[in-house]
Amino acid sequence: MTLEVTGLTVDIGERRVVDGVSFDVPDGARVGLIGESGSGKSLTALAVLGLLPDDAVAGGSVRWNGRELIGMPDRELATIRGAEIGIVFQEPRTALNPIRTIGRQIGESVRIHEGLSRTQARARAVAEASRVALPDPERIVARYPHQLSGGQRQRAAIAMALACRPRLLIADEPTTALDVTIQAEILELLLSLVEDDGMSLVFITHDLAVLSQIATHGVVLEAGRVVETAPVSTLLSAPASLVTQGLLRDATATLWRPGGAAASRGSGAEPQKDPAAASRGSGAEPQKDPAAASRGSGAEPQKDPAQNGGAA
């Protein structure tokens, strides 16, 4: 299932805060949306899911598996959210309801979308908690969000987003609120879950170092516009836009952190020189590269995220 975002706009009052954003996420691809604070990353993600604030108006096109999501009635969209497209927000405190147990929240979307009974949903919640490596899953599902650590809350939020096995996960700065060690653990977890399920991923961050560990392609936003779309390795080695050059300077401090997620997955082929390749393993896995995959099949080259949108 492919996500095709074409000429997406978001207006809030008189202000156009997302201005003609285009990118594709082919089946199984991992694409990053990156840019400084206020560049329109979150609103782009929210527009895809029909979760914009009331005073915001979306235009352009968002096609999911060929179906247009912009303008789709909310009841219809609600059947896609969670079941086909999952989302993890930056701050799990806001995503989790403070007065409901973790287990109830993880099981809720499964209950709704798959019509499970309360008992079945509870069993499923335990299984999902275990899948995201929450400790003592049987017991932790009975706890409330404030009784978990920040990293555990984010694991719970990931379990919620993935409980219905969506085909696409949108993760909006899911690790920003966490300290560096926990951040690396959560990135590892996300990457392994995404790879195990062959899920597509849209990962939002302002940190090129983080992006390099999880995505293969990056879409760089500035003031609501796409300024550069390229393989992450290109963004790291030959950033074309001033914005990307600035993000690279900011990221350098954390990029070559020894023992980081990229380094630990590296093949030994100079991972420190190319964290993007390191995060993909040997870097010689063309089938994992959506650009190569879509070129390889000879079909629909416009599905290459690096080719759509460009410097729109």
Ligand X SMILES: Nc1ncnc2c1ncn2[C@@H]1O[C@H](COP(=O)(O)OP(=O)(O)OP(=O)(O)O)[C@@H](O)[C@H]1O
Catalog residues that contact ligand X under the rule CB under 6 A: 12, 17, 35, 37-43, 53, 206
Contact assessment for residue 162 and residue 169, using Cβ atoms and an 8 Å cutoff = yes
154 binds, among Mg ion, ligand X, none (CB under 5 to 8 A by kind): none
From the list Mg ion, ligand X, none, which binds 218 (C-beta under 5 to 8 Å, kind-based)? none
Which is nearer to ligand X, 55 or 74 (by Cβ)?
A: 55
101 binds Mg ion (CB under 5 A): no
Q: Which is nearer to ligand X, 42 or 200 (CB)?
A: 42
38 contact, one of ligand X, Mg ion, none, CB 5-8 Å limit per kind: ligand X
> CB 35 → ligand X: shortest distance, Å?
6
CA 133 – CA 116 distance, rounded (Å): 23
Look up tokens 């990029």; give the residue.
Answer: 255
**Closer residue to ligand X (CB): 56 or 292:** 56
Please report, as residue ranges, which positions from 253 to 282 form the binding site for Mg ion (by CB under 5 A): none
- State the minimum distance, in angstroms, from the CB of residue 250 to ligand X: 13
Q: What is the DSSP letter of 142?
A: T
> Based on CB atoms, which residue is closest to ligand X, 113 or 206?
206
What is the CB neighbour count within 10 angstroms for residue 178? 19
Binding-site partner at residue 72 among Mg ion, ligand X, none, CB < 5 to 8 Å by type: none
Could you say which of 39, 42, 212, 244 contacts Mg ion (CB under 5 A)?
42
Nearest to Mg ion of 42, 105 (CB atom) = 42
Taking the least distance from each CB to ligand X, the nearer of 17 and 127 is: 17
CB of 193 to Mg ion, least distance (A): 22
Cα separation of 85 and 99, whole Å?
25
Q: Cα–Cα distance between 207 and 301 in angstroms, integer?
A: 29
Q: How many residues make contact with Mg ion (CB under 5 A)?
A: 1
Question: Which of ligand X, Mg ion, none sits in contact with 115, Cβ below 5 to 8 A by type?
Answer: none
DSSP labels, 148-196: S-HHHHHHHHHHHHHTT--SEEEEESTTTTS-HHHHHHHHHHHHHHHHH
Q: Distance of CA 159 to CAs 72, 100, 121, 134, Å? A: 27, 15, 13, 9
**Residue 17 Cβ, how far from ligand X at the closest point, in Å?**
4
The 3-state DSSP class for residue 64 equals: strand
Using CA atoms of 162, 167, 171, 175 in order, give the dihedral in degrees to the nearest 10: 50
Q: Are 278 and 251 in contact (CB under 8 A)?
A: no
Residue 268 interacts with, from ligand X, Mg ion, none (CB under 5-8 Å by kind): none
Contact set for Mg ion, span 175-234 (CB under 5 A):
none
The closest residue (CB) to Mg ion is 42
Integer angstrom CA distances of residue 268 from 174, 233, 272, 278: 28, 17, 9, 8
What residues are paired with 168 via a beta bridge? Answer: 85, 200
Residue 47 or 277 with smaller CB distance to ligand X: 47
Which residues make up the interface to Mg ion (CB under 5 A)?
Answer: 42
